[in-house]
Amino acid sequence: MARLTPRALSIAAIVAAAGLLTPLSAAEAQSGFTPGAPGAGDPYFPDMGNGGYNARHYSLSLAYDSGTKAINAHAKIFATATQNLSRFDLDFLGPLKISKLTVDGQAAAYTRTGAQELVITPRHGLRKGRAFTVDVAYSGVPQMINDKALGVSGWIATHDGAVALSQPFGSATWYPVNDSTGDKATYDFTITVPKGLKALANGEPAGTGTHGSTTTYRWIDRQPTASELVMVAIGHFDVKDTRTPSGLRNITAVDPAAVKAAARTTASESTDRRRLPAVSVASPSGDFNTATANVVEWEQKLFGRYPFGSVGGIDVLAPNVGYSLETQGRPVYARRAAGALPSADLLAHELGHQWFGDSVTPAQWKHIWLNEGFATYTEWLYSEQHGGKTAQQLFDEAYASAKTDWSGKVADPGRDHIFDDLVYTRAAMTIHQIRKAVGDETFFKLIKAWPAAHRYGNDTTAQFIAFTEHFTHKDLDKLFKAWVYSAGKPAL
């Protein structure tokens, strides 16, 4: 094996220390520079995510054409190499065509292979610890995913625009991304639309400008965000930008076509993914913006300080969707037909996700019960504290119901079952069993301490169990074995 001379190594070290990109010799290329992995190691979605680097920030610019439904876009990804990289992958799915790709301003070779791999080979290797930037210019009509088991996601056309719903793997349909729950990043968005349309995204507004027949909206998302929680919505929205009683910024957008003024009943047509129908709770008071404020103020008392810079929601008519999604900071309530406001329990569920699932995100998809169980139990607590059934009554009904799914393991439901009732209702029942085992005083301290301890990070079932047992000073192994790790209906 050829080796570099000591003098060459010394020069290379000086240049690297100065933060400059050093060309790789043939010898260097053969001695430690290797390709990043084409997946992040999630057994449910082996093609999702990539190894060899961490994404730190995405700067996304796109112009939407309402006539062709196409976007003309530019993604700038700021990342750091976690190994000596000879090449690396981004996830990029569907028919969008790349017109230009550079790494640190230099043209890079690339190819698209497999299910969603964009394989990039920079001119020079990237040393471990080095910050680098990838620029990708691309265009076309993004695709919608309709997975047989998991339903619709990705870039979804609506009657007057589009909405991007990325869970679990839709982000790669509209921008190149390291699509892993474990690689959170911050974002900024620059979205140009035909005049008259409005564009919303995660984070907070950062300016709007109209030029001729188009309007550009800018948004900045300053808190770490998992790619499955990234959202863009384009349409004729009625937008309200207010403050909650505690001073939290509250930005809501309502599609006028989604709501009939005479039809404000107790439940909307939108539900959360595949779970059983929502519990019956009184309709939220006031309009969508006010109801959102009321629910998040109540949740801050339960779970502690809200973790993001603003709250809100998008209420949109999207006939292909019909579910709600906890997109970070601003959940999307998509319905197939016009109807009522989102119900109070649905607001409680999606806003509860801001602590459980968004701020604290599963390290792998098999841990999704920590999202959906807590969000569903938030509904139960909302009912209990707002004149509805108690959590115990809801537990008893679910335990007796023939509809409750006892067939799988909550901690490992399987790829095609991550949105099944198993990880919603049975997971909420698990949380109620914890409450009964440790008592109310300790339980309500626990549900504040857990999201605070893991804020902006990731979690696993094992971490949650260890944290719960340490925090409560209880041995709960039998409880978790029966309710989380075993199939079948546990005995009471």
**What digits encode the pLDDT tens for the residues 384-430?**
999 999 999 999 999 999 999 999 999 999 999 999 999 999 999 99
Q: Count each helix (H run) and each strand (E run) in the chain, helices first.
A: 10, 25
Using the Cα atoms of residue 438, residue 441, residue 447 and residue 449 in order, give the sign of their dihedral. Answer: negative
Mean pLDDT of 361-390: 98
| pLDDT for position 286 | 60
Burial 390-399 (b: 16+ CB within 10 A, else e): ebeebbeebb
Indicate whether this model's pTM tops 0.85.
yes
Give per-residue pLDDT as tens, 214-235. Answer: 999 999 999 999 999 999 999 9
| pLDDT for position 29 | 53
Cis check: omega of the bond before 6, within 30 degrees of 0: no
Cα(first)–Cα(last) distance of the chain, in Å?
66
Joined together, the tokens standing for residue 83 give 């190994």
Give per-residue pLDDT as tens, 43-102. Answer: 999 999 999 999 999 999 999 999 999 999 999 999 999 999 999 999 999 999 999 999
Evaluate if residue 8 carries a pLDDT over 70.
no
Residues 6+ apart with CB under 8 A from 63: 71, 72, 73, 191, 192, 193, 214
Largest CA distance in the chain: 81
Q: DSSP code of 342?
A: P
Q: How confident is the model at residue 258 (pLDDT cuts 50, 70, 90)?
A: confident
Nearest CA to 325 among 457, 230, 205?
230
Joined together, the tokens standing for residue 208 give 């709007």
Amino acid at 254: V
Mean pLDDT of 273-302: 73
Evaluate if residue 272 carries a pLDDT over 80.
no
Classify 304 in phi/psi space as left (phi over 0), alpha (psi -120 to 50) or beta.
left
Task: Determine the Cα–Cα distance for residues 70 and 65; give it in Å rounded to an integer.
Answer: 5
Evaluate if residue 242 carries a pLDDT over 70.
yes
Q: Which residue has the tokens 């043939």?
A: 26
- 40 with 51: CB under 8 angstroms? yes
186 CB-side CA count, 13 A: 10
Task: Determine the Cα–Cα distance for residues 14 and 460; give it in Å rounded to an integer.
Answer: 41
| pLDDT for position 483 | 98
Give per-residue pLDDT as tens, 97-140. Answer: 999 999 999 999 999 999 999 999 999 999 999 999 999 999 99
Average pLDDT, rounded, for the chain: 90
Distance from chain centroid for Cα 121: 28
Q: Calculate helix-pair angle for 440-453, 461-472, nearest 10 degrees.
A: 130
Evaluate if residue 300 carries a pLDDT over 90.
yes
Classified as helix, coil or strand, 210 is strand
Q: DSSP code of 284?
A: P
User: Residues of the chain with pLDDT > 70: what percent?
Assistant: 88
| pLDDT for position 271 | 62
Q: Which residue has the tokens 């000073």?
A: 473
Bigger pLDDT: 275 or 430?
A: 430
Evaluate if residue 349 carries a pLDDT over 50.
yes
Q: Which stretches does DSSP call E strand in 85-182?
A: 85-91, 97-103, 106-107, 109-113, 117-121, 131-140, 144-147, 151-157, 162-165
Burial 456-491 (b: 16+ CB within 10 A, else e): eebbebebbbebbbeebeeebeebbebbbeeeeebe
| pLDDT for position 260 | 64
Q: Which residue has the tokens 């198993």?
A: 422
| pLDDT for position 339 | 82
| pLDDT for position 185 | 98
Give per-residue pLDDT as tens, 316-344. Answer: 999 889 899 999 999 999 988 888 889 99
Q: What is the 3-state secondary structure (H, E, C) of 231-266?
A: EEEEECCEEEEEECCCCCEEEEEECHHHECCCCCCC
Distance from chain centroid for Cα 297: 22
Distance from chain centroid for Cα 236: 24
